[in-house]
Amino acid sequence: MKRIYFILAISMTLFSCKDNAKADENSEAITEPPQQEIDGGEAADDIGFAINPVQHASMVLQWDDAIIYVDPVGGKELFSQYTAPSLILVTDIHQDHMDATTLAAIMTDSTKLITPQAVADKLPQDLKSKAIVMNNGATKNELGISIEAMPMYNLREEAKKFHEKGRGNGYVLEKDGKRIYISGDTEDIPEMRNLKNIDIAFVCMNLPYTMPVEKAAEGVLAFRPKTVYPYHYRGTDGLSDVDKFKNLVEAGNPDIKVTQLDWYPKQ
């Protein structure tokens, strides 16, 4: 199967949706996202890590031989250009993160599916039996990658109904001394601010479901990743101002590189 990747150009030292169709009023409303073609990127031969932004919260990563799908939704065809996943990470129960139909269509017999308990509870039995449940604080090693389930939740009182503490997972992946952070749907919680030695971070920012760009920037400046990718930045009023996020972060710490990828190419 064809692999087309956006390759990270960095040095070796560098390194939020409705529950389902019957979701309640607390769920995030997401319009059908556009499909996109992924352009090939410049090669970084010294790093075995690559990023394909698929849509909103969905991405396909490659770390050496491991093909990692994060929150794959939208149907099998959307992922047809990628190699089948060796590992799938699902962060939360909302439909822009969990899609049982897509999961069933793209998984192989050898695919490792990692979910929080709340996601596993909502999967059909055939998928539930395959899920490796990790809740906040759990760690596991799969495919030579250490995986830590991180908290993700809202802090603002008016937003707590969207993501309660303990339900969903962010993830920290670590291999060969390199650490990758995937925020999931969160605000700038203490657990994020206290992260250490993060080489690459994927950080959400959309209202009302997660956090504004100002808070996202504050959180990033607190844990100081080497490179940060804003993702999951479509809210009820359209796309968040990721240019403002970039300016805030780079003004606050010029050593943090902010890279913008095209998660919403037709908007």
Q: What is the mean pLDDT of residues 3-21?
A: 38
Which residue would you say has higher pLDDT here, 89 or 35? 89
**What is the extent of the structural domain holding 75?**
6-28+36-258
Nearest alpha carbon to residue 114 among 95, 140, 78: 140
Inside any domain, residue 221? yes
**Closest to 114 in 3D by CA, of 153, 145, 77:** 145
Beta pairing partners, 202: 182, 229
Q: Which residue has the higher pLDDT, 110 or 24?
A: 110
Domain count of the chain?
1
Q: Are 74 and 102 a contacting pair, CB within 8 Å?
A: yes
Would 246 be classed as within a structural domain? yes
Residue 122 class from Cβ within 10 Å (0-12 exposed, 13-18 middle, 19+ buried)? Answer: middle
- DSSP of 132-184: EE--TT-EEEETTEEEEEEEE---SGGGTTTS-TTTEEEEEEEETTEEEEE--
Specify if 42 maps to a domain: yes
Write out the H or E segment, with its range, that includes residue 203: strand 200-203
Residue 265 domain-assigned (yes or no): no
> Domain holding 214: CATH number?
3.60.15.10
pLDDT by residue (tens digit) across 178-235? Answer: 999 999 999 999 999 999 999 999 999 988 999 999 999 999 999 999 999 999 999 8
DSSP alpha helix (H) spans, the chain: 100-106, 117-120, 125-128, 190-193, 213-223, 242-252
Q: How far is CA 31 from CA 38, 50, 162, 242, in A?
A: 21, 28, 17, 20
Span 108-154, pLDDT tens digits: 999 999 999 999 999 999 999 999 999 999 999 999 999 999 999 99
Average pLDDT, the chain: 84
pLDDT tier for residue 49 given thresholds of 50, 70 and 90: confident
Residue 84 φ then ψ, to 5°? -55, 145
For residue 75, is it within any domain? yes
User: Using alpha carbons only, how large is the chain's radius of gyration in Å?
Assistant: 17
The predicted pLDDT at position 267 comes to 52
Cα 248 to Cα 254: distance, rounded to the nearest angstrom: 10
Its pTM stands at: 0.83
At residue 53, the 3 state secondary structure works out as strand
Q: What is the pLDDT of residues 55-64, one digit of tens each?
A: 999 999 999 9
Of all residues in the chain, what percent carry a pLDDT higher than 70?
A: 82
In this prediction, residue 32 carries a pLDDT of: 31
C-alpha 167/C-alpha 94 separation (Å) is: 11
Phi, psi of 255 (to 5 degrees): -80, -15
Q: Is pLDDT at 44 greater than 90 in this prediction?
A: no
Q: What is the per-residue pLDDT for 226? A: 95
